[in-house]
Amino acid sequence: MSEMKKSLGLFQLLALGVAGVLGSSWIYTNSTFFDTYGAGGMILGIALGGVLAAMVALAYSELTTLFPRAGGEVVFSYTALGRVAGFVAGWMLIGAYLSSTAFYVTAFGTLLGKFTDAMNASPLYTINEGVVTAPVLAAGVALTLLMFALNWFGVGIGAQVQVLMFVVMVLIGLALIMVGFAAGSPDNFLPAFRDDHDPLMSTLRMVVPGMTYVVGFGLVAVLAEDADMPPRKIGQAVLITVVVAVVFYCLVLLASAWVIPWEQTAGMELGSIDAFREAGFPLLGWGAYAIGMLGLLTSFLGLFIATSRIIVGMARVRLLPASLARVHEGSGAPRNALVAVLVATLALGLLGPGAILWFLDTGGIYLGIVWILVVAAKYALPRKYPGLQRAYEAPGWAPVLGAAGAAAVICLALVPGTNMSLVWPGEYIVLLAWFALGAVLLSVAGRMDRDAALTELLGDYRHQLAQAQELQSGQDGSARASGGADERGLRDRG
């Protein structure tokens, strides 16, 4: 059985996780959210959404500590809930992650086009009102090939690039935070809500979008097999990723609302970018733009790597063709899976931003389903293997609250008339088509004996289940022996 090359340290893993969470649009679309929910509603909503996500991350942390293997959620769901659940988790993640990587193909050039008209020249075609130009497409294809090349020789090279971009992003963010608070005023932030909106409802309406801001923390679990550190630290990294990302979001957004009146930012086109320019800091405005660009690049790289590991996890148990599980011996890279991600990303990316929005908006449903499966796996596993020894156990029923938040994401997307509803009919068609395609693939997927499948999926960590089964068998045997002795004693006394 081929294994990933363990080449990621803690900081590299956190960089992939946190930078994978921090996307690009939040830094320039916050003007829209400020206008809709008020600065206070957006910031508090993200904070509360982050708390709910952290509750789900507790379940991830527990399960990753037990089974730090490629595929993360696929491993957890298959082991605790069975073959179908393992497929559903993997298929939903592939749908969500490929939607994002395909979106980045044209989003990269589109973001460049906000500051140079050259990217908007030579239109090629239009799908769903999304115009694809030659420069945008060329830039996106080149970027996708770069992401592929960074991973071809192993995750270490891509991780080093990710760390560099992450450090630059954090340094720029710190500059925005310090200058924003030093040069601004609390009067610009207060009152934090619009006069015609209820503060509580404005905050609560932002909680569900806020949860979607931090969905990428699962990257840490997916990449666990690439990490060269104790399982407990990998599990802790999952939770740290959520906390760091939420704090970064909230502080940068608060600084943007502090440096000039947030009502003024709400009327601007590019959110924090325009806010710092208006405040007299054009260089920091470019810094905010750089955060958006770096967020796109780091998310693209992180999701590209993670998608290949999900494919590997599924292929190990024949939920996808076994050839996709092969790992190159020298580099430790799953090259067949990387090629599959490259082809799928470019194929979907060529559809352009208009069509990809159909796929992107369904991603919240896919990820909500995965969160629910992971939380269910957290509680099902000890019932299935009562003797399982866990180095870390998530406290109480906190993860259930996170799963409830995930269910809210799904409901708000499916029910018409909410601020997160899918667009009829295109996005509902895409959702049903993805489910239908998954059902077909599951029906033709190969089958493995469960013991053999768990050996492939868990590797060296398979022994933990074996020990739990032996311990439980011993306890059951002792109980039967004790019961027999008690029965004989009663007969003797009788």
Contact of 314 with 320, CB cutoff 8 Å: yes
Mean pLDDT for the chain overall: 89
Q: Which domains does the chain have, with CATH numbers?
A: 10-490 (1.20.1740.10)
DSSP state string for 126-160: EETTEEEEHHHHHHHHHHHHHHHHHHHT-HHHHHH
List, in sequence order, every residue forming a beta bridge with 227; answer none if it has no partner: 8
d(CA 109, CA 136): 4
Residues 217-232 pLDDT 10s: 888 999 999 999 999 9
Contact of 147 with 301, CB cutoff 8 Å: yes
Q: How many CA atoms lie within 13 A of 114 on its CB side?
A: 17
Predicted local confidence at residue 82, as pLDDT: 95
Q: Which range (4-13, 121-130, 366-375, 485-494) has the least confidence?
A: 485-494
- Reported confidence tier of residue 482, pLDDT bands at 50, 70, 90: low
Helix (H, G, I), strand (E, B) or coil at 48: helix
d(CA 431, CA 441): 16
55, burial (CB in 10 Å: exposed 0-12, middle 13-18, buried 19+): buried
The pTM assigned to this predicted structure is 0.91
Residues 60-107 pLDDT 10s: 999 999 999 999 999 999 999 999 999 999 999 999 999 889 989 988
Helix axes 134-152, 282-316, angle to 10 degrees: 60
Of 70, 14, 24, 51, the residue nearest 234 (C-alpha)? 14
Residues 279-311 pLDDT 10s: 999 999 999 999 999 999 999 999 999 999 999
